[in-house]
Amino acid sequence: MNPFTYYMPTRIIFGPGKLAELATTPHFTWKKALIVVGQGGSTRRSGSLERVRSLLASRGVEAVVYDKIRPNPEVAQVEEAAALARAERCDVVVGLGGGSSLDSAKSIAVMAKNPGRYWDYMTAGTGGRKKPEHGALPIVAITTTAGTGSEADPWTVVTNPDTREKVGWGCDLTFPALSIVDPELMVTLPPKQTAYTGMDALFHSVEAYLATCHQPASDLFALEAVSLIARWLPVAVADGSNMEARTALAWANTEAGICETLSSCISHHSLEHAVSAFYPHVPHGAGLTMLSVAYFTDVAERNPARFPDLARAMGEDVDQLPEGDRPFAFSTALKKLIRASGLADETLSGYGVKESDIPALAANALSANGGIFACTPVRQNQGDVERIFRRAYQQG
């Protein structure tokens, strides 16, 4: 067993109906909140934004809303929202929505307390690598999707459109102090978004299991999350009102976030970040899915050791296969899940990605998100990454 560090400081309130505890929990101690939501308006249409404002008001908490967060969050909105938090003297940032809103809330909380530009603090690519010496505002995460696990990890992913870099970053300051995971908030999520977010949670778990920095706790959470998603994601896509499926996926997603705290993503995410940095209209979960079969097959060819466990977790009868075929049972299971979740027709070319982009995409993945290549269980250079992109492109 490799040495490891275990640090998971976030308090999580989980279960159907638990949003109501926002009005009564003794763990919300602040007086004025900046509520961060997406620009698409789903939290208004579903009533969740008004409900959160009402629950906060019932305990005497004022609220200001920032509603310009894009599906792939960008630097300008982070900085604008941080300026609003300072001007309004907010003492807590509440992220309400999917991973984009929750990630942005973390970045906004840092910039509300620190000078300069957001990119000054990024530790990869063209980032300035400064430390946020003035701390951050406390963060509360209320998730309405089962996708990024951002309620249970410190990570925030923001794009700099000027440099076409989409970079993940986080530190102890960006753990949520409090997270509420209420599957009832997820029933209005459309089938396609349910599929995209569920696949994102799957890949967080798979990558954490494969990462060279995995540890005993992350392994347990990862395999259970993979099993739950394989079973329940097609059910939730087919019937979004199925509360058993929504609850199972909500927990799997939170497990995946814990995995990202205790272990790490690997370079699969680096490749996707390059795609959606170049093509911001590509949903993150879609990008991961379109790359996934090519990516994991390539890695399994070079380091097959942990793939049979993942295939078993997805329900494959691995032991009846010849030993040499067992690692690739995971790719078989992955293809089945992609089809069952309604994503089999998604292709890179369908989103406008050009095969001629591949060298630049590979270079971007290695430069802007090179850090997690170190946790990947195989060494990958420019040629390796280009090969995976080409495999994925040709599969579409």
Q: What is the mean pLDDT of residues 224-251?
A: 98
For residue 389, is pLDDT > 80?
A: yes
Give φ, ψ of 292 to 5 degrees.
-65, -50
Q: Is residue 142 predicted with pLDDT exceeding 70? A: yes
User: Domains, the chain, ranges and CATH?
Assistant: 11-186 (3.40.50.1970), 191-395 (1.20.1090.10)
Band of residue 173 on the pLDDT scale cut at 50, 70, 90 = very high
pTM (whole model) above 0.85: yes
Q: Which residues pair with 12 in a beta bridge?
A: 179
pLDDT at 4: 87
Q: Is the pLDDT of residue 235 over 90?
A: yes
Site of tokens 């075929």: 325
Q: Kindly write down the DSSP assignment for every residue of 360-395, as one continuous string.
A: HHHHHHHHHTGGGGGGSSS---HHHHHHHHHHHHHH
* pLDDT, averaged across the chain: 97
pLDDT of residue 3: 86
Q: In the predicted model, is pLDDT for residue 126 greater than 70?
A: yes
CA separation for the pair 14, 248 (Å, rounded)? 11
CA atoms within 13 A on the CB side of 242: 15
175-227 pLDDT per residue, tens: 999 999 999 999 999 999 999 999 999 999 999 999 999 999 999 999 999 99
58 confidence band (pLDDT: 50, 70, 90): very high
CA distances from 73 to 3, 168, 220, 226 (A): 35, 11, 31, 27
- Tens digits of residue pLDDT in 273-324: 999 999 999 999 999 999 999 999 999 999 999 999 999 999 999 999 999 9
Question: Is residue 109 within 8 Å of residue 156, measured between CB atoms?
Answer: no
Percent of the chain with pLDDT over 70: 100
Q: Residue 1's pLDDT band (boundaries 50, 70, 90)? A: confident
Q: Summarize the confidence of residues 105-121 as an average pLDDT.
A: 98
